[in-house]
Amino acid sequence: MAPRTVCRSAVLGSLALALLAGPAHAAEDRTDAGASSAALPAPDPAALAARLRTSLAQGAPGAMARIDDHRLSHDDHATVYKAMEGVADRGTAEPMDAADRFRIGSVTKTFSAVVLLQLAAEGRVRLDSPVDHYLPGLLPDDRITVRHLLSHSSGLYDYTSDLFARTVPGFEAVRTRVFTYRELLDLSLRHPLTQVPGAGHAYSNTNYVVAGLLIEELTGHPVRTEYENRIIEPLQLSDTFYVHPGTGIPGRYARGYLTPDEAEAPLVDATEQTVSWAQSAGALISSTRDLNTFLSALLGGRLLPAARLAEMRRWIPAGTGQAYGLGLRRRDLSCGVSVYGHTGAVQGYYTYAFTSEDGRRSLTALANVSNNGRVHLTMLSTLEPAFCGKRAKEDGAAVLPYPAEEDDLAQ
């Protein structure tokens, strides 16, 4: 880990408010319910910090959150709220820092979906064409379309259910292993489809493994090149990397800790790993600043034409108070506001990255632990003080249902 220059006593348990520069964002056409950011209540930074502290009491070594709020600005500046609690490294007791990078798990899926939707805008792929049109003979059912992949409605079995049936042994078996996309798909195809394609939302990492294969087939480039050329470099995301099959995180970062299945067993440092079991489904590295920039640009209409962004927001039910589009989650909060983004779980890290309907207020929160349902639910509830402020219900976590899929890996 790169050395830090921040004083522990100045950061641990602190809450900072600063003005930083950020891009202006154009409003999108609203295609579903949700208050515009102009109507959002002000964030409640104290309540946000309190939820992070709760996650520490529940077993997270550290937690942090960042809000970028353009709600009150009339220029290209944003108000930035940062909250940090606990440690980024249990061995050295170095404090969590807002600049730390981390593994973002399935927030990667939103990046992958953006690439495919850009390719659709270029006429290089059709969302309602069968995947077999582009990758002949790959899948067991030629009714599975590109849209089915991106919306998790294909019925392809999630191979991670087998890989990580036992949490720590499963992880150690793949920590340094390098898979091909087709090897991962083969693990899925040992099982029959879980549903008729298009029948409904059935989350499966296999969908985004096939999406990665499709990106590489359509472009002739590795997914890393497409992430960099289409998203990372245009948005100047200086903390965002796809290092697969490398095992390290560049620069300064928070270490990640995996909770064993056995009660009272010590946490396992899971920081170094290939994440080859996830790749285009969950292997990106980023920071709170970069994820807020990415989601603000996406919902603000800077990454996709309006028609393609509308496709991304064609929702199918995915549980009480939530829905899934194309690589994008919608969550409906206690104050009537809807927010858009994705959750991410990869060994050692829980990530929550969401933005308002127009992209003008964004939150990214991170706990450096995984396989801990109590921490997950608490961190998910950080959306309430970030977007509902003091209008958030005291039991805000209760209105954010906890589907089992979100505590699985790469969710």
- To 10 degrees, what angle do helices 107-121 and 288-299 make? 30
Quick one: DSSP state of residue 152? T
Contacts of 338 (CB under 8 A, 6+ apart): 32, 33, 34, 35, 330, 331, 332, 357
Q: Do the beta carbons of residue 139 and residue 210 sit within 8 Å?
A: yes
106 is an active site residue:
yes
**Active-site position among 14, 36, 55, 106:** 106
Q: Do the beta carbons of residue 62 and residue 97 sit within 8 Å?
A: no
Q: Do the beta carbons of residue 85 and residue 53 sit within 8 Å?
A: yes
- To 10 degrees, what angle do helices 206-219 and 181-189 make? 140
Give me the residues paired with residue 67 across strands.
Answer: 81, 363
**Longest pairwise C-alpha distance within the chain:** 59
**Residue 106: other Cβ atoms inside 10 A:** 29
**Residue 133: other Cβ atoms inside 10 A:** 12
**Residue 10: other Cβ atoms inside 10 A:** 9
What single string gives the DSSP state of each residue in 316-327? EE-STTEEE-SS
Active site residues: 106
